Structures are given as structure tokens and as C-alpha cells.
Amino acid sequence: MKVRYLGTLLLAVLTFFGCDDNTGTLGLGMLPDSDRMSAHTTTFDVITHSFAVDSVFAKTSTGYIGKFSDPEFGYYETSFLTELNCTENFSLPEVYKETEWDSEGNPTKATGTMAGDSVVSIQLAVYYSSWFGDSLNACRMSIYELDKKLDKNRYTNINPEEYYNKYDDKSLLGRKAYSAFDTSVPDSVRFEKDNNGYYTFYPNVTFPLDKKTFGEDRILKVYRANPEYFKDSDTFIDKVFKGVYVKSDLGDGTILYVDYVALEMELCTHYTNDTTGVALKKKDGTDSLRYITNTIFASTKEVIQANQFLNSDLIKEKAQKETGHTYIKSPAGIFTEAIMPYDSIYNKLSNDTLNAVKLTFTNYNINSDYEYSMSAPNDVLLIRKQDLKSFFEDNKVRDNITSFTTTHNAFATNQYVFSNIARLVTTCINEKQAAKKAAKDKAGSSWNETEWEKTWNKKNEDWDKVLLIPVSITYDNSTNSSGNKTMTGVQHDLKPGYAKLKGGPEEENGKVKSPLKIEVTYTSFNK
């Protein structure tokens, strides 16, 4: 029986090893002794180190705002910029006008509902449902109007000053003190529910705007003169309002997770007869008026939103100087980079069949007396370093070939376990072997590994490197045929969290002191 090179998958053997750990050598006794297969397990060293990042791709509709400092990593602060969405063919009600009368002079037909062409009030509201840190911490929020349209830059190192003029007093729309838990709201309001059992109170920070200069001159009058400016979000953003920048400029210890920003306007309108459109009358003969506050424009997934994260220099110092372990830290802080022993695996097992490859990252227990200490990220992504940019920019999900996800096992082993990344190993080995073969097939050429690694925009330099990244995973509510939920999105985790992992590049007597171990199960034929 002829032995095949590494990467050849014997489906029967894979099925045998994947279904039942107790099947022993089922079926192998029928083979001649000279051809009998046997399974083995061996390990290889994996060298890891902390990989500091200054920004990550963050396509999210959640806005993060605040500052948080801890003794382990120093401070980080965050703010966000967002456009406001204008729904297609947006319209404001027309002013009430009687158009037909009966013989006695009573109105029988009318158009419009607004009681006068004016705005009662207008405000910007920042709505949030959760936060991290001290809920009673005193903070101050400022909100500015953008004077430049946002680029589709979703990276967290965006510079807000490119999009607003901080030296122009007119750009400041409002400034207000707040705490995440507003103690001025009575329990009767906070816990009030509607007829469906949902809470009616939504935590927010609200900024009143001038009803004349902003509500009427900037919105109402522009709409009356140019309703085509409000036909869709692109035109509205270009012609009317480019968006806002929201930041916390005082306070340390709280991060708000903002759901959306809303521009809300209050109008006075007539109650009208649904049939005739004529204003209804109260018993005393006066017009019946009502005051209605509506969200007219809001930040949504359809428009651009960009978060900025700034970390202290302590992040880079820890990544560079602490070599006896590694870290993963969110948001936009530290990944763990692992150099995979593909060459060693190929050199030793090229004549065998790879069945399973297991890679485990074990984290130290986090013991902190700090009241608001961060916990280990729940979900992580293992991905080839060279695929990092395209994976998140193209909104991909794990494929279990070159990208894998797993959940932190906090209660049992305190580990992130990737139970089988064999397809990653074979993919990378075969990629290099194919390049080597192609080089040798060219007349008069030879294989130059250094040259290969530096070609293709130096992408091949990272052919043997993977990154461990904290992520946030979303799922479809429906389940697939196997009863599992379908993964619909993988994004960088933008909430505070960290884990200190075993490993690191620290050396002792010329060798890495504590490399991780990759466990390889393979099948070979007895000779």
C-alpha cells in the first residue's frame, strides 16, 4: 500500500477517529500485518508573544463614550462620530388650512395639521441601555456638529478633529453633566411598563437645542424651501446636517454603550376628523391641539458611525516588556500572536496522515481587589495574521479552515481550546509546498524561501503566524438542521476585557522557556 504525503485525508480514518473514542482498532485487523495502520499523538512547540494594536476595524451601530483607567493597563478613552439617517421621502406635516366651507361658513374640508409654521422644541438625545464601570461616577458629555462628511473609515484610530472645528463655538451643540445611573429619575418612572409589559423609560442624556435657530431655520424652513433635500439619507447629510461628534470630556471610570443618537422635534398639531380633515372642536368651541415629540432623524445601521479608542502607552510597554506570558486585551489593545511549527510538522510527518490538531491557550486566574476589574473575553477568534484585514472589512465569519472561534471555559479549565485546526495546518503547509514546486518547475530557477516570504507585498512573511483576538459573535435566532444557531457576524470585541495567557517568548539557556504545545494526532502505516 503506497503511503501518501501529509494533507491527504483518509475519510474513513477521519470518520473512525471522530465518531467514537472507544472503537479501538475496529476494522484494522482485516489488513495484513505489514499494512496495518496505527494512530499516534505527538507535540510541537508554539512560540507566542503579545501583539499590540493601535486600532481595529469596528463596523458597529453601538457608540462607546467615556474614560476608564485601571492599575493593570492604564487608561483608555473612547468617543464616537455618527451621521443621522433620513428615511426615504421624509416629510413634515403641512400647516393646517381650511379649504372649503358650507353655506353657513363652517369649514368642511382642510389640508395639513400643524397649528402654525413653527417648532415648539427640538433636542438631541443620546440613548443607552448598559455601561461598564461606576454607575454613579460624575461625568460630562459634549456634543459637536460635524462640518465634513464622514469617510467610510471604520478603524478606531480615526481623528475626530478632521470632521469638526473644535475652535468654533458654533460647532458645540450642547454640554451636560451626567452619570450612567440617573438618581434624579424616580422609581415610578424608571420601572413603569406599557400594556405589553415593556419598560417605558430609556436611559438618556438630552441636549436641548434652540428652537428658532436650529429647529426652524436649520430644519423646518429648509424643508419648506427644499423638500428634495430630505428625499434620502445621502442628500440630507450632504445638504442639511452632516452628523455629530459625541465625547465625554470630564470623568474617569465609566463607559456608556450608546444604542443610538436621535434628533427629536416637538410640534403642535390639530386633532382632525379622519374623514373630512377638519380640525375637531372642544366643547368650549376652541381648536383641539396636541403636542407631539417625534424622532425625526437618528443614527442607524444605514449610515456611517465611527468609534475612536485611545489607549495609554502602558499597553505597548506591557506587550513588549512582559515576555513570560502574553495578553489579549479589548478594546483595540493587545492580541496574542503565535508562530505555528508548520515546517517541523511537515518534516516529521510528511509520510503520514494528519487526523487532528489541538491548540490550547490557558489563562491565569485574574485576582484583583479593584472594584471594576475586567474579566476574560468570552469569545475569541484564531485567524491567519495575513487574513486579519480582509476578514473584518469583508464581514466574514469563521470557515473552520483558516479561521476558528471558541468560547472561554471559565469554570472548568480556564482555557480557550481549539480542538481541531488540522485544516489550517494542511492548508498552510500545502500553500508553501505548492510555491516551492512552482519555483522548481521554472527553468533555471530554484527555491528561495527568503525571497518567497518577502514577495506579494510581504504577505508571505506571515504565512506561519496566527492571531488570537477577542471578538463579539452574533447568531441568527433560528437553528440549523443540527440544532445549532447560525453564526451571522464576527466583530472585534469593543467592551473592556483581558486575559493573561501562559506562554510568551521569554528564553532560558538559549531556548524559549515556556512554549505552548500543539498536539497532533496522525495515522501511519506499519512497515
Helix (H, G, I), strand (E, B) or coil at 252: coil
Check pLDDT > 60 for residue 456: no
Backbone angles phi, psi at 439, to 5 degrees: -65, -40
pLDDT at 457: 53
Point out the least confidently predicted range of 6-10, 137-141, 202-206. Answer: 6-10
Query: DSSP letters of 46-76?
Result: EEEEEEE-S--B---S-EEEEEEEETTTEEE
Point out the least confidently predicted range of 51-55, 297-301, 454-458. Answer: 454-458
pLDDT at 14: 41
Q: Are 119 and 266 in contact (CB under 8 A)?
A: yes
pLDDT at 285: 64
Point out the least confidently predicted range of 12-16, 46-50, 201-205, 210-214. Answer: 12-16
Does this model's pTM top 0.75? My answer is yes
Which residues touch 429 (CB under 8 Å, ≥6 apart)? 6, 7, 342, 345, 346
Confidence of residue 480 (pLDDT cuts 50, 70, 90): low
- Between 125 and 36, name the one with better pLDDT: 125
Residue 407, Cβ neighbours under 10 Å: how many?
12
Confidence of residue 138 (pLDDT cuts 50, 70, 90): very high
pLDDT at 5: 42
How confident is the prediction for the chain on average, in pLDDT? 88
Confidence of residue 200 (pLDDT cuts 50, 70, 90): very high
Confidence of residue 161 (pLDDT cuts 50, 70, 90): very high
Residue 439, Cβ neighbours under 10 Å: how many?
15
Name the region of 8 (left: φ>0; alpha: ψ -120 to 50; beta: rest): beta
Average pLDDT, integer, range 487-506: 95
* Interatomic CA distance for residues 34 and 369, integer angstroms: 63
* Interatomic CA distance for residues 436 and 433, integer angstroms: 5
Average pLDDT, integer, range 373-377: 90
Which residues sit opposite 339 in a β-bridge?
Answer: 47, 465
Check pLDDT > 70 for residue 16: no
Confidence of residue 365 (pLDDT cuts 50, 70, 90): confident
Render pLDDT for 285-342 as a digit per residue (tens, 0 to 9). Answer: 667 888 999 999 999 999 999 999 999 999 999 999 999 999 999 999 999 999 999 9
- CA-wise closest residue to 165 among 153, 177, 148, 140: 148
Q: Are 268 and 289 in contact (CB under 8 A)?
A: yes
Domain chopping of the chain, boundaries: 33-55+312-525, 74-309
Longest dimension (CA), the chain: 113
